[in-house]
Chains A and B, each alone.
Chain A
Amino acid sequence: MAGVPSRHKSLVLLAGVIILQVVLLAVQIKRDSQGRLLRVWTVGAVSPFQRAGAKGIGNIRGTWSHYFALQNTSRENEELRRENDALKLQVNQLQSKAAESDRLAGLLNFRQAQRNVPMLAARVIGTGADTSQTVYLDRGERDGIRRNMGVITPDGVVGKVIESYRDTAQVLLLTDRDSGVGAMLAESRIQSPVGGTGEPLLSMKYIPTDDTVNVGEHVVTSGMDRIFPRDLPVGIVTEIKTGRPFQQVRVRPSANLQRLEEVIVLLTLHPLEKKEPPAPAADAAGKSVGGTAAVNP
C-alpha cells in the first residue's frame, strides 16, 4: 500500500478485509465446509470456562436453595403451628408428591419404552453467541456423541447434534429456522415435518387443507427423519390458520427449550422404532393400528 495516500489506507484495508470474508463465505457455501479448525480452537478455548461456570452456578444454586428451603420450612412450621393450619400443609404436600409421582412415572415409562436406545445425560453449558438457536453440552466425541444424534428431554424432542468436539457438542434446537423433525399428529397419524421458525413456536408445514387438525392435539415424532424414534412428544398444536394448499399449523414444543439445563442424547445414528410400553396394552395397540393406517401426505 506504498502508493496509497495515508488517509485512504484504512479504506483500502476495509475493502480488502471485507472481500476476504466474502470469499470465505463463498468458499464455505461452495464446499459446504464450515471452517472447522477455527471453530474447534474457539470452542476449545471457551468451553472449559463455560463448563466451570455451569458447575459453579449449579453448586451455588444448590447451596442457596437448600439453605433457604430449610429456612422456609422452619419458618413455615412455626407459622403453621401458630395458625393451626396443618390441613393446608397436608394438601400442599400431597399435591407436591402427586406431581413428583407423575414426573417419576413419566421418566420410568420413557426409559422403559426406550430401553433399547443407548442414552447419555448431558448438561447445557452454553448457547451460541448469536441469535441462532443452538446450545453447547458438556459431553462430546469422547463420550460417543456424533453429528446428527437426537437430543431430547423426558418432556419431548430438543433438537439434534450439529457439531461434536472433543469434550463439547453443539445442538441445534428445534426452534431454529434450519431445524426440522419428522412428525405426525398423535391422533390422526397425519405426517408432516415440524420445523423451527426462529421463534418459540414451531411450524407444522405440510398439513393439507382438507385434513382436520384440532387445537390441543399432540404432535409426536414419526421416525421418518431417521434421527428420533417414533412417538416421542414434539409439541401441542396451539394455532391453526387456513391456507392453500397447506394449513399453517403452529406447535408449542413439549420440551421447555427456553430453559434447558439437562438433556438426553440418543447415542445412535440408526433409525429406531419405539417399543410400546407393556402396561396400557389396549391403548398402545390402538395407536399402533392407527400408525399403520397413517396417511402420508
Chain B
Amino acid sequence: MMNDAFDLRLAESHIEVHKFRSGAIVVSTFLALLLQAFVPVYIPKFAVLDLPLLIVVYFGLSRRNPSTGLLLGMVIGLLQDSLSGPTVPLGLYGIAKTIIGYLASSIGARLDTEHPAARFALTTMFFVVHQGVITLTRRLLLAEPEPWFTLRLLIAAAVNAVVAVVLFTLLDRLRKS
C-alpha cells in the first residue's frame, strides 16, 4: 500500500504541466463554438461532434490543474448553453463540462495522457460521462425523459475520440516549448 502511494507520487512528479501561447485557450474555445454552430448548416453530420467538449478535455489533460480545468469547463459549457437557445437552459452543458474539466485535469495530473491510444480511450470515456451527466440533469432537474444509452451515443463517442486524437496533435503545437 505504501509502495503504491510512493509510486503514485513519483509518477505525479514526472508529469509535465504544459503552458500555452497567450490567447491559445480563448481562440481555441471561440473557434470550437463557432464551428459547432456553423458547420452543421452545410454538413449536418458534423453535429455529432462536440468540439467544445474536446477543448475542455484537451486543456484539462494538459494544464492538469483541477481548479482551472473545472472553471474552463464551466465557461465553455455556459457559452455552449447560451448558443443552444431557450430549449437548453443555462447550466445544462455548464454542469456537464464543469465535471469533465475537473475529471480531465485530475486524471491528467496522475497519468501520462500524451499517447494517442490514451487520448482515444479517455475521450471516449469523457464523452460517455458527459452525456450521462446531461441525461441525469435532464431527468432529475428538468423532468425530461431522456434515454440513458443509445447506439448513437456509442458511435458519437467513437467519432469524437478519433477526431480528438487528430485535434489534440494539432493543439499540441500551441504549447510553449
Q: Which of B36, B38, B70, B84 contacts A13 (CB 8 A)?
A: B70
Complex contact A21–B66 (CB within 8 A): no
Complex contact B67–A131 (CB within 8 A): no
Complex contact A127–B41 (CB within 8 A): yes
Q: Which residues of B contact A54 (CB under 8 A)?
A: 38, 41
Complex contact B88–A130 (CB within 8 A): yes
Q: What CA separation (Å) do A178 and B105 show in the bound complex?
A: 35
Q: Which residues of A contact B106 (CB under 8 A)?
A: 10
Q: What CA separation (Å) do A132 and B85 show in the bound complex?
A: 9
Q: Which of B38, B83, B90 contacts A28 (CB 8 A)?
A: B90
Interface residues of A in 122-150 (CB under 8 A from B): 124-132, 134-136
A99 within 8 A of B: no
B28 within 8 A of A: no
Complex contact B70–A21 (CB within 8 A): no
Contact pattern, A 16-32, Cβ under 8 Å of B = 1, otherwise 0: 01100110111011000
Q: What CA separation (Å) do A102 and B102 show in the bound complex?
A: 57
Q: Which of A18, A127, A130 contacts B95 (CB 8 A)?
A: A18
Q: Which of A21, A34, A49 contacts B86 (CB 8 A)?
A: A34
Complex contact A14–B98 (CB within 8 A): yes
Q: Which of B36, B44, B89, B102 has the most CB of A within 10 A?
A: B89
Q: What CA separation (Å) do A102 and B33 show in the bound complex?
A: 40
Complex contact B67–A129 (CB within 8 A): no
A258 within 8 A of B: yes
Complex contact A130–B90 (CB within 8 A): no
Interface residues on B, range: 35 or more
Contact status of A43 and B34, CB under 8 A, knowing A18-B99, A29-B142, A127-B41: no
Complex contact B67–A25 (CB within 8 A): no
A213 within 8 A of B: no
A176 within 8 A of B: yes
Contact status of A129 and B41, CB under 8 A, knowing A170-B85, A178-B87: no
Complex contact A162–B87 (CB within 8 A): yes
Q: Which residues of B contact A11 (CB under 8 A)?
A: 66
B58 within 8 A of A: no
Q: What CA separation (Å) do A21 and B134 show in the bound complex?
A: 13
Q: What CA separation (Å) do A23 and B71 show in the bound complex?
A: 17
Closest Cβ neighbor of A147 among chain B residues: B86
A53 within 8 A of B: yes
List 11 interface pairs A-B (beta carbons < 8 Å), by A numbering: A10-B106, A22-B141, A29-B89, A35-B89, A38-B90, A46-B83, A126-B38, A130-B80, A162-B85, A163-B85, A163-B86
Q: A21-B94, A46-B83 are in contact. List 10 more A-B contacts (CB 8 A).
A: A13-B67, A13-B70, A25-B92, A28-B89, A28-B91, A34-B86, A38-B82, A39-B90, A53-B38, A124-B41
**A residues apposed to B, CB below 8 Å:** 9-11, 13-14, 17-18, 21-22, 24-26, 28-29, 34-35, 38-39, 41-43, 45-46, 49-50, 53-54, 57, 124-132, 134-136, 162-163, 170, 172, 176, 178, 258-261
Query: Which A-B residue pairs are the 7 nearest by beta carbons?
Result: A10-B66, A21-B91, A130-B84, A129-B83, A42-B82, A35-B90, A25-B91
